[in-house]
């Protein structure tokens, strides 16, 4: 009987494993992000939220504001992708020329691998820096804060071989594992007078990255693997010289899911940027994958430089972070039901933050559609990744600076340096 019982349990166990694998795959997809965020959006619009209401009558006003900002920065509406590469260009300083000069002796494939190295560590270090921290750029005499400061600090550290075991402009597992928190603090000019939010969390991410590289040789190579070797993995996914943006995101989520600390898991699989909300009937899970999508957007340009055609850009979603979400709050698309919400600080897993982020994903799609209609441009001419750049992220920063000292977010977030 015992043997028969064990045998009969096998199909059940197999079916359960398959269901869990399917659930994980679904939660890692842009389809799931939009569907689950859409359920939260409907919940709010039905008046069930304790925290927010939506006023879609403000869409036109928000779109006009975004277009005004876009025309200011890009008068011909030739907007580049929203990616980490834009931050490296801040102030009109030719830092990318310096990068290309450093990589000039490499083959085109080796350059793409090096640029993947840089983009990956720089994005992982890109969670909100706080209002105080600044990075002084010695070569220009300029001081930078927030995302731009983090970008330039990581670029300078890359130039100096700070992520490499060979003191080269590259990133490798041994270099990351040897890096100490004190060294990262020194490179980013952190001290008591120049504090950086979530420094320990950022260092921990880099340590976890080093471990993940070693544990996934099929994606990152064998001896002393590099994150940039993900280029080779993606080249095997090509179909007729084309690569879908969602395929890049899938590789990012598969390759880097284990670096995220303290996240929800299914059968030991780290879900990453996935949180809980009561509006989701079955498992209460809402995926966002903000940093992973930001990273995906940042990996597309090195792939294009290799001659690859990236397709289905708008399969990815807008980024649910405090600039895009702040834009929606500051211009009245989203309103708080209790003003005290704006006075408190909220954890990233709190219902209020999960709800705000979900609303942001759906409203970014609505804003993008309205912007295109007002400009008479197609989705191909102005994909979401360009509207984010031109667009909503910059507009969110601009309106925040107009309304609040230091341009801080309208909602205060307790950040550990790994989400926002």
Q: Between β-strands 345-347 and 412-414, what pairing exists: parallel, antiparallel or unpaired?
A: parallel
Residues 6+ apart with CB under 8 A from 139: none
Q: Does residue 298 contact residue 119 with C-beta atoms inside 8 Å?
A: yes
Q: Residue 1 has what pLDDT?
A: 32
Residues 6+ away with beta carbon under 8 Å from 240: none
Per-residue pLDDT, 10: 47
Q: How far apart are CA 374 and CA 380, in angstroms?
A: 15
- List, for residues 219-231, the tens digit of each pLDDT value: 999 889 999 999 9
Q: Which strand (E) or helix (H) includes residue 213?
A: helix 199-215
Supply 7's token pair. 């045998």
pLDDT for the residue 321: 93
The confidence score (pLDDT) of residue 12 equals 55
| Run of H or E including 169 | none
Averaged pLDDT, 18-37: 95
* Residues 293-307 pLDDT 10s: 999 999 999 999 999
Taking every pair of Cα atoms in the chain, the longest distance, rounded to a whole number of angstroms, is 79
Rounded CA gap, 246 and 293, in Å?
9
- Is the pLDDT at 208 greater than 70? The verdict is yes
Beta strands in 112-208 (DSSP E): 134-137, 142-145
DSSP 388: I
Q: What is the pLDDT of residue 5?
A: 36
Would you state the pLDDT for residue 416?
67
């Amino acid at each position: 009987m015992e043997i028969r019982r064990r045998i009969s349990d096998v199909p059940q166990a197999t079916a359960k494993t398959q269901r869990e694998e399917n659930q994980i795959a679904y939660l890692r997809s842009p389809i799931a992000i939009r569907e689950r965020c859409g359920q939260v959006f409907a919940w709010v619009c039905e008046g069930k939220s304790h925290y927010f209401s939506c006023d879609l009558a403000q869409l036109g006003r928000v779109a006009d504001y975004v277009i005004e900002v876009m025309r200011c920065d890009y008068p011909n509406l030739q907007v580049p992708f929203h990616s980490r590469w834009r931050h490296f260009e801040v102030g009109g300083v030719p830092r990318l020329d310096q990068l290309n000069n450093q990589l000039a002796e490499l083959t085109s494939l080796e350059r793409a691998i090096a640029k993947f190295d840089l983009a990956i560590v720089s994005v992982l270090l890109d969670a909100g820096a706080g209002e105080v921290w600044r990075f002084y750029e010695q070569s220009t005499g300029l001081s930078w804060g927030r995302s731009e400061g983090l970008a330039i600090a990581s670029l300078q550290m890359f130039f100096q071989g700070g992520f490499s075991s060979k003191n080269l402009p590259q990133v490798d597992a041994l270099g990351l594992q040897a890096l100490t928190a004190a060294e990262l603090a020194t490179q980013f000019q952190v001290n008591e007078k120049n504090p950086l939010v979530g420094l320990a969390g950022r260092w921990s991410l880099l340590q976890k990255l080093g471990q993940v590289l070693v544990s996934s040789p099929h994606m990152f190579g064998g001896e002393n693997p590099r994150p940039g070797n993900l280029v080779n993995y993606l080249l095997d996914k090509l179909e007729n010289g084309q690569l879908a943006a969602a395929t890049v995101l899938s590789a990012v989520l598969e390759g880097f899911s284990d670096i995220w600390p303290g996240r929800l898991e299914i059968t030991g699989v780290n879900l990453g940027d996935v949180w809980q909300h009561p509006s989701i009937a079955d498992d209460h899970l809402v995926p966002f994958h903000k940093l992973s999508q930001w990273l995906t957007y940042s990996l597309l340009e090195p792939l294009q430089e290799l001659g690859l055609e990236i397709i289905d850009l708008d399969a990815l979603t807008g980024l649910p972070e405090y600039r895009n979400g702040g834009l929606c709050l500051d211009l009245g698309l989203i309103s708080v039901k209790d003003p005290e919400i704006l006075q408190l600080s909220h954890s990233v897993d709190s219902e209020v933050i999960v709800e705000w982020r979900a609303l942001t994903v759906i409203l970014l799609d609505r804003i993008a559609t309205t912007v295109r209609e007002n400009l008479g441009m197609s989705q191909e001419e102005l994909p979401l990744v360009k509207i984010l750049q031109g667009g909503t992220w910059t507009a969110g920063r601009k309106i925040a600076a107009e309304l609040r000292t230091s341009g801080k977010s309208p909602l205060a977030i307790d950040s550990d340096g790994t989400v926002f």
